[in-house]
Structure 1
Amino acid sequence: MTQFGTRGVLYRGGTSKALLVRASDLPSQDREELGRWLLAAYGSPDPRQIDGIGGADGLTSKFGFVGPSSRPDADVDYTFAQVGIDVATIDWSIMCGNILSSIGPYAIDEGLVPAVEPVTVVRIHNTNTGKVVVAQVEVSDGKPRTAGNVHIDGVPGTGSPILLDFKHAAGAKTGKLLPTGNYRDVAEVPGVGPVEYSVVDIAGMQLFVKASAFGLTGAESPIAYEKLVEAGQQIEFLRCKVAVDLGFATSIEAAKKESPITPFGIIVGPPQGWLLYGTQESRAADSCDLLARCVIDGGMHKAFPGTGAIPTAIAAAMEGTVVHDVTRAAAHKKGTYAIGHPGGTLTVEVGLNASDAGVEVSQASLVRTARRLFEGTVFVEPSRLTANTVRPGDAHER
């Protein structure tokens, strides 16, 4: 039997990579069948993803499809999927902020949004969260620019800036910026005792804890963190408990399957020197306003997700959160927060309006770069699919 091929584009967005496909080119509209196709295309489950396009890393096992918008306040619909590596799972519940930076250029390249020089504004409706994020993409000769002088840590060289504004993305998972209704809460963690934490929901929902509560500094590397098994288990217990308390899981034991990355855990610490993951380059304490590490089930993100950076900066700006406690005081006057992470720093501009009704986000923006890397046909072995996964005319055969 011949292989089935589907047209796609490989894009780097921020510090991540993803296969992007037009919604009209999808091999199936059925979510379960599409999941089977994704696992086959990425070579999952397999720790090396050797029989697919996945890069055996959470930062490269990502997927998105884009099509005309289903709502009048947006230009395109963008749906994201995190593809499991050594497990046969597809997570449709989150929005990847780094890959989001590639959606504007992709939409322009694909003719879904007309190019307007010098800057094209693309309103992106993320269907995973139901929120709209606005991207500003530099355009030259009718195409998205790639050359520029903006460097983002975790990516070699420089590129053209893409400004992403998440101010309309509050309450992406729960409908509230502060899902618990409090700036901070307290939970009992076995082996630790009472631990203070904060939960913020904008772009993605994140659980924040001070690294010091678990005997950590916040400067740990991904490799070092994996060896801190007890601390990793304790933080995961708290993450699962919060998932249960907020209704995303039925029990702490079931939370890892029912809500594996909602909320995502982030440990924070005060500004201090640290070594960059991979290069071991030294970064000074004065290069950041706080340290933050995204952690999940004993593992640590090698850089920092855009959907983690936005709530981290928002939490840093809100007096009363555990993140505010460890943030450099001078950052509050600037409204700009430099987050130190394993790959370097990521800066977010924040604007908040406080009133008796609560806190309203007036600005939540960051700058990324993106580049179209490859376009062509992704081939999948039919034996891994159901008979209905690829409909005639939807894909090319080889």
Structure 2
Amino acid sequence: MQTAIPCTMMRGGTSRGPYFLATDLPADWATQEQVLLAAMGSPNAQQIDGIGGGTSLTSKAAIVSRSSHPAADVDYLFAQVGIDRLHVDIGPSCGNILAGVGPFAIDAGLVTPTGDETLVRVRNVNTDKLIEVCVRTPGGQVEYEGDTRIDGVEGSAAPVLLNFLDVAGSKTGKLLPTGNVWDLIDGVPVTCIDAAVPMVIIDAASLGKTGSESKAELDGDRELLARIEKIRLAAAWKMGLGDARGKVIPKVALVSAPRHGGTLTSRYFVPDNCHASHAVTGAICVSASALLPGSVSAPLATPVAANGQVRLEHPSGQIDIVLDSALSAKGIEIHRAGVVRTARRLFRGELYVPGSIWNGHHSRAS
């Protein structure tokens, strides 16, 4: 016997995955984790027995529910599902998958459209942070088609505006978790910063790279990946994140001077391979580092536009972040960060998992 679970498959930004209502999943996390692994087809490099795509960008899931938070309409739990191992990481968030949460919540009846545009207030459960998501809803329906293009995705779609509120200290409680603008780790100057996601920022030249390498070139350099991981693990302790082995945060970015008219070039790691484009939360964090005086990014970045727009160059093109920030005695204060993404509903129906994993009965939450 198999258990049928209502599911909507969506592309959110440059990522893809199933979106679930929390009420359609097991109440206890242990069983929920097993359901997600079975749904995606893990552990298997091709995820052949599930709907995962065999990459970190296509082995993600969103779990959405009504929120009890007074400033939010819905809660969003992001899950990074392991591909070749039995583990689901709910430590970080994902801004790309977030792009589909507003449309999904409206389609699912959790939020009522309010006109040509509907504001969906989202609480990210992973970080306990709030995001305002603006979705086009002409005629009371989510509009998916449009002329907005984002690098890393073919074609165009309707824009989804994400405004991240209070991004500093998403997991550590501090913009600069080590108390320093830069630290020396394994002989390499790095900036440990937490804005939307904890990150370790490294000048690519410090590791013998130009910073303009392709994803394939970086992924093929096993010595480089081992060095990055060594630095990342050491930085995690300094940032108060503990043992990061087997975990995806902190993330890492190699930065360099822009080459195509942008503000900064970034190669974002997830964390054991280079992102094909760039994570949204990672783009916010890298952008914040570009504005931070004394950081490893600051000398490499071109002057930021008066409106706070930072354009990051990545392997698939560019991503624009608009930061509402101000200089302060501690460096910078970031009030909000905005980015435009797109989303598309791919299919809606029932996803099946073995009844031996979950029989469909809801146990009490642990």
Smaller-chain TM-score range? over 0.9
**Deviation string, structure 1 residues 56-111 (Cα, Å, up to 9, x no partner):** 11111001111110210111011110001111110010111000011111111111
2:254 aligns with: 267
Mapped pair 1:392 → 2:366: no
**Deviation string, structure 1 residues 213-245 (Cα, Å, up to 9, x no partner):** 000011111111122222221111110001122
Deviation, structure 1 residue 332:
4.6
Please tell me whether the aligned partners of residues 162 and 367 of structure 1 are also in contact (alpha carbons under 8 angstroms): yes
Deviation, structure 1 residue 393:
7.6
Looking at structure 2, the residues matched to 16 and 128 of structure 1 have their Cα atoms a distance apart, in angstroms, of 18
Mapped pair 1:362 → 2:351: no
**Deviation string, structure 1 residues 27-67 (Cα, Å, up to 9, x no partner):** x1111111111111111000010010101111110011111
Mapped pair 1:303 → 2:292: no
When the two chains are superposed, the root-mean-square deviation of aligned CA atoms in Å is 1.6
**Deviation string, structure 1 residues 323-370 (Cα, Å, up to 9, x no partner):** 1121112x2545211111111100001121233366321231100001
2:217 aligns with: 224
Deviation beyond 4 Å, 4+ runs, structure 1 = none
SS class of match (1:10): strand
Deviation, structure 1 residue 390:
3.2
2:37 aligns with: 39
1:1-398 matched pairs, under 5 angstroms: 2-26=1-25, 28-187=26-185, 189=186, 194-250=187-243, 255-257=244-246, 260-272=247-259, 285-286=260-261, 288-296=262-270, 298-329=272-303, 331-356=304-329, 359-383=332-356, 385=357, 389-392=358-361
SS class of match (2:100): helix
1:275 aligns with: none
Look up the equivalent residue of 1:307 and give its one-letter code.
Answer: T
Deviation, structure 1 residue 113:
0.7
Looking at structure 2, the residues matched to 22 and 337 of structure 1 have their Cα atoms a distance apart, in angstroms, of 35
What is the number of equivalent residue pairs in this alignment? 363
1:281 aligns with: none
Please tell me whether the aligned partners of residues 236 and 296 of structure 1 are also in contact (alpha carbons under 8 angstroms): no
Looking at structure 1, the residues matched to 331 and 214 of structure 2 have their Cα atoms a distance apart, in angstroms, of 36
Please tell me whether the aligned partners of residues 263 and 301 of structure 2 are also in contact (alpha carbons under 8 angstroms): yes
Please tell me whether the aligned partners of residues 101 and 162 of structure 1 are also in contact (alpha carbons under 8 angstroms): yes
Please tell me whether the aligned partners of residues 27 and 362 of structure 2 are also in contact (alpha carbons under 8 angstroms): no
Please tell me whether the aligned partners of residues 56 and 270 of structure 2 are also in contact (alpha carbons under 8 angstroms): no
**Deviation string, structure 1 residues 132-166 (Cα, Å, up to 9, x no partner):** 11111111111111122210001111111111111
Looking at structure 2, the residues matched to 295 and 391 of structure 1 have their Cα atoms a distance apart, in angstroms, of 37
Looking at structure 2, the residues matched to 344 and 297 of structure 1 have their Cα atoms a distance apart, in angstroms, of 20
Please tell me whether the aligned partners of residues 186 and 197 of structure 1 are also in contact (alpha carbons under 8 angstroms): yes
**Deviation string, structure 1 residues 246-274 (Cα, Å, up to 9, x no partner):** 23234xxxx322xx2111011101112xx
Looking at structure 1, the residues matched to 7 and 272 of structure 2 have their Cα atoms a distance apart, in angstroms, of 33
- Structure 1 pair 64–335 and aligned structure 2 pair: CA distance change class (3 A): same
Look up the equivalent residue of 1:22 and give its one-letter code.
Answer: L
Look up the equivalent residue of 1:269 and give its one-letter code.
Answer: S
Please tell me whether the aligned partners of residues 232 and 297 of structure 1 are also in contact (alpha carbons under 8 angstroms): no
Please tell me whether the aligned partners of residues 6 and 25 of structure 1 are also in contact (alpha carbons under 8 angstroms): yes
TM-score scaled by structure 1?
A: 0.88
Looking at structure 2, the residues matched to 226 and 391 of structure 1 have their Cα atoms a distance apart, in angstroms, of 40
Looking at structure 2, the residues matched to 343 and 121 of structure 1 have their Cα atoms a distance apart, in angstroms, of 29
Looking at structure 1, the residues matched to 177 and 87 of structure 2 have their Cα atoms a distance apart, in angstroms, of 26
SS class of match (1:144): coil
Please tell me whether the aligned partners of residues 135 and 142 of structure 2 are also in contact (alpha carbons under 8 angstroms): yes
